[in-house]
């Protein structure tokens, strides 16, 4: 990083690495959108059933639901740049083979779904690692702007890719979107080869096993309230908003009677709306805050679904696309920033992977559901039901308040390493004695409940706070960890924000806490 001072919405572009990787991902995403348009349109020719067409969207997002947590664990264990390079090379090979099959005229509905699933699987392994490197590319004060710019980049590609795909399909045939997508993957590979990030300080502890890392990530999400609330809001929005993406090819072809050009134009209008929304978003978020920004985006999406269902004209669909794009980026960017702000680096890729799992699972389930509704009733009926669901979801999720950026999740490294060196697989119990004056008990108990959640996020179980039977001022905190190695990782991962909580607790005490570690006895 070359810049430490905070700036405005464009300040992340002061960082060369961020700019190069941002441009490369925009180019790659243009190719991805061309591929998606080509796949959706090709499927309307091969098998025009609403359920089958909706399965293309499901095949794109389902791999993220299936593999994102595994991908996040891998991205937190191994070098993220190497992971991104390996996966992008694999994606490039798949994309070139797919383009060749389309060119030969041998593509079938089943093959199309298989290749779409393979490309989606690559995206599942890329997304957590890609999002997790953002804090390494910009100063912490520019993280919100960087996330918003990444969202804007996706939507710039959405504005260009579909329109370009429509032109290419109409002028030269269906093969070209697939060919250019394959070529676009080479741009990202080149950018990753060029990028030489500074190495993180290497831990003296052995790397986590993948299964243990996955469990740790799920556990962190389960006990960390700010992240849980993001997941609730994400599921409530994407389950219903998925109707827009799943039904759009059918709206263009069957409801509006258009061709590939119209479909590309509709997607381009969504992209234009998203870019405009990204430019306005910093001011909107500053005035409304994240919660009301998400509510506004949800209301805008519901309005679009209702308009297209009730007034099915090309003009309405184009205007709706603009509103849908702005609404989409308002919700997605706000939820992404809230998720990033809730995660320390040691679990960042896993936490973002869980967010992506909820996102893709909701999109996949919704796509299949809305396709079924459209097949049983009609496309406008499916859109109208989804709009009503979004409206109902707003009051039902008001309790799930999104956190604001601000907590420092950098490692504090303020715990001294214990002198004892038992075997790494020995189960461990930690005991801490606190001397708390009676007048501070109420405050102490409240802070210790926050401490309990903090300990559990790092793998503690069996947490108990006891009061001495003979000395009411003396309290004992105890908890278990699965191994001594797990406890040493806990030492490495305690954040600055958690240190501040522990400092608040110590300020209430009359003496320094007494800490003891016990390990399981092994016979023989």
Domain count within the chain: 2
Q: Over the stretch 32-51, which tens digit does the pLDDT of each residue have?
A: 888 887 887 787 777 766 66
- CATH code of residue 149: 1.20.1250.20
Q: Per residue in 345-356, pLDDT tens?
A: 888 888 888 988
Please report whether residue 3 resides in a domain: no
Site of tokens 């909580």: 501
Q: Which residues of 482-511 are buried (b: 16+ CB within 10 A; e: fewer)?
A: bbbbbbbbbbebbbeebbebbeebeebbee
303 sits in which H/E element: helix 260-310
**pLDDT of the residue at 2:** 40
**Mean local confidence (pLDDT), 337-343:** 85
Chain segment 410-465, per-residue pLDDT in tens: 888 888 877 666 566 778 899 999 999 999 999 999 999 999 999 999 989 999 99
Contact 122, 59 (CB under 8 A): no
Q: Which of 283-292, 369-378, 383-392 has the highest mean pLDDT?
A: 383-392
Inter-residue contact 310 to 381 (CB < 8 Å): no
Contacts of 379 (CB under 8 A, 6+ apart): 50, 247, 250, 251, 254, 255, 309
Q: Which of 318, 178, 197, 173 is nearest to 260 (CA)?
A: 173
The residue that leads in pLDDT, 3 or 86, is 86
In percent, how much of the chain has pLDDT > 90?
31
Q: What is the pLDDT of residue 423?
A: 60
What mean pLDDT value characterizes the chain?
Answer: 85
Shared domain check, 472 and 381: no
For residue 447, what are the contacts with CB-CB under 8 A and spacing of at least 6?
501, 504, 505, 508
In a domain, 351, yes or no: yes
Instruction: Examine the domain organization and report whether 488 and 369 are in the same domain.
Output: no
Is residue 99 predicted with pLDDT exceeding 70?
Answer: yes
Residue with the bigger pLDDT between 239 and 39: it is 239
pLDDT of residue 131: 81
Mark whether 30 and 107 lie in a shared domain: yes
**3 state DSSP class of 107:** coil
Residues 94 and 181 in one domain: yes
User: β-strands 461-467, 514-519: how paired?
Assistant: unpaired
Residues 142 and 19 in one domain: yes
**Residue 193 vs residue 161, higher pLDDT:** 193
C-alpha–C-alpha distance, residues 403 and 337, integer Å:
9
Residue 409: alpha-carbon gap to chain centroid: 18
Over range 368-391, report the average pLDDT: 91
Residue 244: per-residue pLDDT: 92
Asked if the structure places residue 416 within a domain, the reply is no
Domain that holds residue 313: 11-198+206-396
Residues 298, 346, single domain; the answer is yes
Cβ atoms of 332 and 281 within 8 Å: the answer is no
**pTM of the full predicted structure?**
0.77
State how far the Cα of 366 lies from the Cα of 36, in Å rounded to an integer: 18
The answer to whether residues 300 and 378 belong to one domain is: yes
Same domain for 347 and 248: yes
Structure tokens at 236: 């409530």
Percent of the chain with pLDDT over 70: 93
């Amino acid at each position: 990083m070359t810049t430490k001072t905070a700036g405005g919405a464009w300040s992340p572009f002061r960082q060369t690495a961020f700019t190069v990787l941002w441009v490369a991902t925009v180019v790659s995403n243009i190719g991805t959108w061309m591929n998606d348009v080509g796949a959706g349109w090709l499927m309307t020719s091969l098998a025009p059933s609403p359920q089958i067409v909706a399965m293309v969207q499901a095949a794109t997002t389902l791999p993220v639901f299936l593999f994102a947590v595994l991908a996040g664990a891998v991205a937190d264990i191994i070098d993220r740049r190497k992971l991104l390079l390996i996966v992008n090379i694999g994606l490039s090979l798949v994309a070139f083979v797919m383009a060749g099959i389309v060119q030969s005229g041998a593509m079938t509905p089943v093959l199309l779904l298989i290749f779409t699933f393979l490309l989606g699987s690559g995206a599942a392994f890329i997304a957590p690692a890609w999002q997790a490197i953002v804090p390494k590319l910009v100063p912490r004060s520019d993280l919100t702007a960087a996330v918003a710019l990444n969202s804007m980049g996706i939507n710039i590609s959405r504005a260009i890719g579909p329109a370009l795909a429509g032109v290419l399909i109409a002028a030269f045939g269906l093969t070209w979107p697939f060919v250019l997508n394959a070529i676009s993957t080479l741009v990202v590979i080149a950018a990753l080869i060029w990028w030489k990030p500074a190495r993180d300080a290497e831990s003296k502890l052995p790397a986590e096993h993948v299964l243990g890392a996955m469990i740790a990530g799920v556990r962190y999400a389960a006990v960390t309230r700010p992240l849980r609330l993001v997941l609730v809001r994400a599921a409530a929005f994407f389950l219903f908003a998925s109707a827009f993406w799943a039904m759009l090819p059918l709206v263009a072809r069957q409801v509006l009677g258009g061709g590939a050009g119209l479909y590309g134009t509709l997607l381009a209008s969504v992209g234009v709306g998203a870019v405009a929304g990204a430019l306005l978003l910093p001011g909107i978020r500053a005035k409304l805050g994240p919660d009301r920004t998400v509510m506004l985006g949800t209301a805008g999406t519901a309005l679009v679904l209702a308009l297209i269902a009730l007034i099915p004209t090309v003009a309405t669909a184009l205007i709706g696309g603009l509103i849908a794009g702005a609404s989409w980026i308002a919700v997605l960017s706000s939820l992404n920033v809230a998720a990033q702000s809730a995660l320390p680096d040691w679990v960042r890729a896993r936490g973002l992977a869980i967010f992506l799992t909820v996102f893709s699972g909701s999109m996949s389930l919704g796509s299949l559901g809305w396709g079924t509704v459209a097949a049983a009733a009609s496309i406008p009926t499916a859109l109208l039901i989804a709009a009503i669901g979004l409206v109902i979801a707003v009051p039902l999720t008001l309790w799930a308040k999104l956190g604001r950026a601000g907590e420092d999740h950098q490692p504090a490294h303020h715990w001294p390493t214990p002198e004892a060196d038992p075997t790494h697989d020995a189960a461990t119990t930690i005991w801490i004695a606190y001397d708390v004056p009676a007048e501070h008990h109420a405050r102490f108990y409240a802070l210790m409940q926050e401490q309990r959640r903090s300990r559990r996020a790092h793998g503690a179980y069996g947490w108990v706070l006891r009061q001495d039977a003979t000395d009411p001022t003396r309290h004992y905190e105890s908890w278990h960890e699965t191994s001594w190695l797990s406890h040493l990782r806990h030492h490495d991962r305690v954040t600055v924000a958690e240190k501040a909580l522990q400092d608040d607790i110590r300020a209430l005490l009359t003496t320094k806490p007494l800490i003891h570690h016990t390990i399981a006895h092994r016979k023989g």
